[in-house]
Amino acid sequence: MSLLFTPAKIGNLEIPNRIIRSATAECMADDSDGVPKEALKSLWVELAKGGTGLIISGHLYIHPSGKGHPEMTGIYADELIPSLKECVDAVHNAGGLIAAQINHGGMQCAVESVNGTIAPSAIDEDFLKQPAREMSRDEIEVLIDAFAQAARRAKEAGFDAVQLHAAHGYLVSQFISPYVNKRTDEWGGDLQGRTRFLREVARAVRERVGDDYPLFIKFGMEDGKEGGLTATEGAEVVAMMKEMGLDGVEISGGVGKSSVRKGIKSASREAYFRPLLQLARKKTNLPLIIVGGMRSKAVMEEVLSSGDADFVSLSRPLINDPNFPNLLKSGEVEKSACISSSNCWAENLNEGIACKCPI
Ligand SMILES: Cc1cc2nc3c(=O)[nH]c(=O)nc-3n(C[C@H](O)[C@H](O)[C@H](O)COP(=O)(O)O)c2cc1C
């Protein structure tokens, strides 16, 4: 039996099929204040009409110090709620569901988007755009509250769920990574100390949104860097997630764009984080979402029927064609036309994400 077009739940949220749009930074907000533009609303409506079961917004910045890049959408102030609500209402009117991915960029924020970057510990590396300074204990408390307030705003704006971004080398994953977090106080040290920030964020968010509201996470289970978080340790973090009050886990890995692999030319290159999911599955019975190189119906069906994942999550195939889920369902196509060259990032202002590959 085909599982791809059967419903399943994340917490209390029933999703009509197993296809999720993985968070994808749209760069369709006003650069000065993060207010979404019409283009963002139109894109989300297109995704809803295209048959995606659950859309996850591109990452939304929870505090001005965590704006990752130009034209990122904001959720850092109550003034943003009405414009976000307008977009969410449009998705609901089109029959879709949408979750808000909330994030703080930490050390990876763009030079032009913040006034200096912060991280759990001071860090200066070639892969960073600028050196980051160590956060004070007071700043840690402020940002825990900022995550909680952002989640509350998401709920007030009508989002169907919140996803915490704890992957790709952004702030939450920086705390968990032994490569980045060298703190010797209660916010660092062993795995209990390094996961404390996540635990406190999850606790504070739950306090604001209540026990029934769907709350899940995108988790970078390994850094893929010497001295960084290993898959074995990452699996231990997954084991803690149910107790943290989370309802589901999307598994990713790598720092920055290393999570977005190029050249998915054959079925054997698809589902490239599947080994991580197989480790995670041994540690939790929470719904698991696989992301990374999901391209063909056959691979999606096989991953679901094996039990390795409950949902499949797609980014680039839906930039290539927001109607892809409908085409898969009708049998018009068996595979995405996306060639995974990653030529879809927004590079100039007013450009937004767009498929620019010669297909
Ligand atoms: C243009 C672009 C923007 C992205 N923005 C985000 C983001 O805001 N949050 C996030 O968690 N991942 C982001 N990602 C990563 C994707 O969600 C996904 O994990 C990755 O692209 C692998 O999936 P795919 O092979 O289906 O593209 C982005 C990827 C692309 C290509």
Question: Residues with Cβ within 6 A of ligand 1?
Answer: 22-25, 58-59, 101, 165, 167-168, 218, 252, 259-260, 291-294, 314-317, 342, 344-345, 353
pTM listed for this prediction: 0.98
Confirm whether 355 is domain-assigned.
Answer: no
Please give the number of the atom of ligand 1 that sits closest to the Cα of 68: 8
Q: Name which residue sits closest to atom 29 of ligand 1, judged by CA.
A: 24
DSSP states of 75-89 = -SSGGGHHHHHHHHH
Ramachandran class of 342: left when φ > 0, alpha when ψ lies in -120 to 50, beta otherwise: left
Host H or E run for residue 31? none
Other CB atoms within 10 Å distance of the CB of residue 19: 25
Q: Name which residue sits closest to atom 23 of ligand 1, judged by CA.
A: 292
Where does residue 136 rank: exposed (0-12), middle (13-18), buried (19+ CB within 10 A)? exposed
Task: Write out the residue range of the structural domain in which residue 78 sits.
Answer: 8-330
The CA R_g of the chain, rounded to the nearest whole Å, is 19
Confirm whether 352 is domain-assigned.
Answer: no
Residue of 19, 21, 24, 67 with the most ligand 1 atoms within 8 Å of its CB, for mutation:
24
Please tell me the total count of domains within the chain.
Answer: 1
| Residue 349 near residue 25, CB atoms below 8 Å | no
Residue of 171, 262, 315 with the most ligand 1 atoms within 8 Å of its CB, for mutation:
315
Distance 99 CA to ligand 1 centre (A): 15
| Residue 260 near residue 24, CB atoms below 8 Å | no
Confirm whether 3 is domain-assigned.
Answer: no
Q: Name which residue sits closest to atom 18 of ligand 1, judged by CA.
A: 315
Distance 221 CA to ligand 1 centre (A): 15
Residue of 61, 108, 218, 260 with the most ligand 1 atoms within 8 Å of its CB, for mutation:
260
Residue 110 is given by DSSP the state -
Give the tokens for residue 301: 């069906």
| Residue 35 near residue 80, CB atoms below 8 Å | yes
Confirm whether 63 is domain-assigned.
Answer: yes
Q: Name which residue sits closest to atom 13 of ligand 1, judged by CA.
A: 24
Catalytic residues: 170
| Residue 277 near residue 286, CB atoms below 8 Å | no
Buried b (16+ CB within 10 A) or exposed e, 146-185: bbbbbbbbbbebbbbbbbbbbbbbbbbbbbbbbbbbebee
Give the tokens for residue 208: 């604001």
Any idea what the Cα angle at residue 270 is, between residues 10 and 305, rounded to 5°?
50
Distance 41 CA to ligand 1 centre (A): 19
Give the tokens for residue 217: 């996470």
Residue 129, amino acid: K
Distances (CA, A) of 307 to 19, 145, 273, 282, 286: 15, 36, 14, 11, 12
| Residue 327 near residue 21, CB atoms below 8 Å | no
Distance 174 CA to ligand 1 centre (A): 18
Distances (CA, A) of 327 to 52, 178, 297, 331: 11, 43, 11, 6
Please give the number of the atom of ligand 1 that sits closest to the Cα of 291: 23
Strand-strand pairing, 54-56 and 311-314:
unpaired
Please give the number of the atom of ligand 1 that sits closest to the Cα of 342: 31
Q: What is the pLDDT of residue 186?
A: 98
Residue 60, amino acid: L
Please give the number of the atom of ligand 1 that sits closest to the Cα of 22: 17
Q: What is the pLDDT of residue 66?
A: 98
Confirm whether 343 is domain-assigned.
Answer: no
Q: What is the pLDDT of residue 1?
A: 65
Q: What is the pLDDT of residue 358?
A: 82
Residues 6 or more apart whose Cβ sits within 8 Å of residue 302: none
Confirm whether 340 is domain-assigned.
Answer: no
Distance 348 CA to ligand 1 centre (A): 18
Confirm whether 344 is domain-assigned.
Answer: no
User: Residue length, the chain?
Assistant: 359
Distance 273 CA to ligand 1 centre (A): 13
Please give the number of the atom of ligand 1 that sits closest to the Cα of 264: 25
Distance 151 CA to ligand 1 centre (A): 21
Host H or E run for residue 220? strand 215-220
Distance 85 CA to ligand 1 centre (A): 23
Give the tokens for residue 351: 């450009």
Other CB atoms within 10 Å distance of the CB of residue 78: 11
Q: Which residues pair with 252 in a beta bridge?
A: 220
Q: Which CATH number goes with the domain that contains 105? A: 3.20.20.70
Q: Name which residue sits closest to atom 1 of ligand 1, judged by CA.
A: 345
Q: Which residues pair with 8 in a beta bridge?
A: 15
61, 4, 59: which is closest to 218 by C-alpha? 59
Q: Name which residue sits closest to atom 2 of ligand 1, judged by CA.
A: 24
d(C-alpha 349, C-alpha 188), whole Å: 38
- Helix axis angle for 274-281 and 231-240, nearest 10°, is 50
Give the tokens for residue 31: 């650069």
- Can you give the pLDDT of all 359 residues of the chain as single tens digits? 689 999 999 999 999 999 999 999 999 999 999 999 999 999 999 999 999 999 999 999 999 999 999 999 999 999 999 999 999 999 999 999 999 999 999 999 999 999 999 999 999 998 899 999 999 999 999 999 999 999 999 999 999 999 999 999 999 999 999 999 999 999 999 999 999 999 999 999 999 999 999 999 999 999 999 999 999 999 999 999 999 999 999 999 999 888 999 999 999 999 999 999 999 999 999 999 999 999 999 999 999 999 999 999 999 999 999 999 999 999 999 999 999 999 999 999 999 999 999 87
Please give the number of the atom of ligand 1 that sits closest to the Cα of 353: 1
